[in-house]
Structure 1
Amino acid sequence: MSDDTQQEQTVYNSSDTAAILKIQESTLRKYCIMLEEAGYKFHKNEHGHRGYFNDDVIALKRLIEIKKHPDMTLKQACNAVISWIKEKDVTDSDITDITDEERHNDSYNKLLNEFEEFKKQQEEFNKELIDQLKKQQEYIQNSLLERDKKLLEAIRETQETKKLIAATQQEEKKSRSKWWKLW
């Protein structure tokens, strides 16, 4: 494959490639090392990290398919992939089934389901909280009304007691003044 063709293609990192292939990154690393030993060349940056083009993803996907055969070792599968690559031109059309939407769909759906569950729990919590606040407000209003009633009763009783005391004192004054008149 020419460098011009590689520059036009999307370059995937190892985590994206592992997600596309539905394997662990450590398994991807193992497969790459085995393919390199068989003669396959992966693109590497200045730090030695692999970048995976569409053709590389297709080759790895083919390796996974071939190694599933019961009598096939991983080394034999790698050699078969190298032979297959030499015989066939791998094109971008072979990877059309691997789209960004498909690649991230599982993660997105899982996250969306978790969010929906959280949203339901939050709505239930909010309803319970609103009910508690309503009950608390009713309790406070009832307590205030009861307190106000008791306070008004206490004020009335105090006023009536003061009236009685004043009336009694006035009568005592009248009766004292009569008693002194007699002397």
Structure 2
Amino acid sequence: MEGLHGDIEALYSPGEVALQLNIQRQTVTKYARIFETEGFVFHKDENGNRAYTDTNISMFRRVTDAKKRPGITLETAIKGVIPMYTKDSITPDVTEISTENEQYKDVTNEKLDMLMQALAEQQKLILEQSKKIDSLQEQLNEHRLDVKNRDTKLLEHIREHQKERQEEMLLIAQNEVAAAKEAQKKGFLARLFGN
């Protein structure tokens, strides 16, 4: 069979087409019937069995892809694909699909731009927060050092105070012992000499 450009195309059975597109054989037949109701003609052998060309496989692949989009029915997908494979290929349906694709692309680009802007702002905030955290960590380290120095000085002061207190207590105890010895001496002498 001759294709759109006059070249000879290979013919495939419904099973071969189903295998290439990774769909059921019945799905290939269903696609073909709907295409035929829309006026499309497939190659048929002497027994009336359909045979499909590479172009037909490409059409079916487009239909399968179009059906994956939300809100697109099989019939709508086929009606959108048929004009692409007729000699008068530009029709309002193709233009609508093309316009829809452009709108989808514009919306996608807008959303992508918004996401990129939000990501840049988030990175800026993260950087600012990181600087604040570093500053707070530095202040905390300085505070810890101040507290450690204060504690060290306080401990030294307590030790000095305890040492002075011990020396005072030792001096008081020595004075009391000396006074007691003196009193004991006087008491002994007084008893000895009768005073």
Task: Please give the TM-score of this superposition, normalised by the length of structure 2.
Answer: 0.49
Extract unaligned runs of 5+ from structure 1.
Answer: 16-28, 33-41, 45-49, 60-84
| Partner in structure 1 of residue 127 of structure 2 | 123
Q: 2:179 aligns with which of 175, 180, 183?
A: 175
1:14, 1:52 within 8 Å by CA — same for their partners in 2? Answer: no
| Partner in structure 1 of residue 65 of structure 2 | 11
Classify 1:135/1:51 alpha carbon distance in 2 versus 1 (closer, same or farther; 3 Å): farther
Percentage of pairs with the same residue: 12
Would you say how many aligned residue pairs link Structure 1 and Structure 2? 124
Deviation per residue, 1:122-180 (Å, 9 max, x gap)? 11111112211221221122122112211210111111111111012112211221221
Higher relative contact order (Cα pairs below 8 Å, separated by 6+ residues):
1
Q: Please say which structure displays the higher CA radius of gyration.
A: 2
* Distance in 2 separating the partners of 1:125 and 1:54: 52
| Partner in structure 1 of residue 162 of structure 2 | 158
Extract unaligned runs of 5+ from structure 2.
Answer: 1-39, 41-54, 188-195
Deviation at 1:105, TM superposition (A): 3.4
Alignment of 1:1-183 (within 5 A): 3-9=56-62, 11-12=65-66, 13-15=68-70, 43-44=74-75, 51=77, 55=81, 88-90=88-90, 102=105, 104-183=108-187
Deviation per residue, 1:91-142 (Å, 9 max, x gap)? 99x96xx69xx56433322212211111111111111122112212211221
1:14, 1:51 within 8 Å by CA — same for their partners in 2? Answer: no
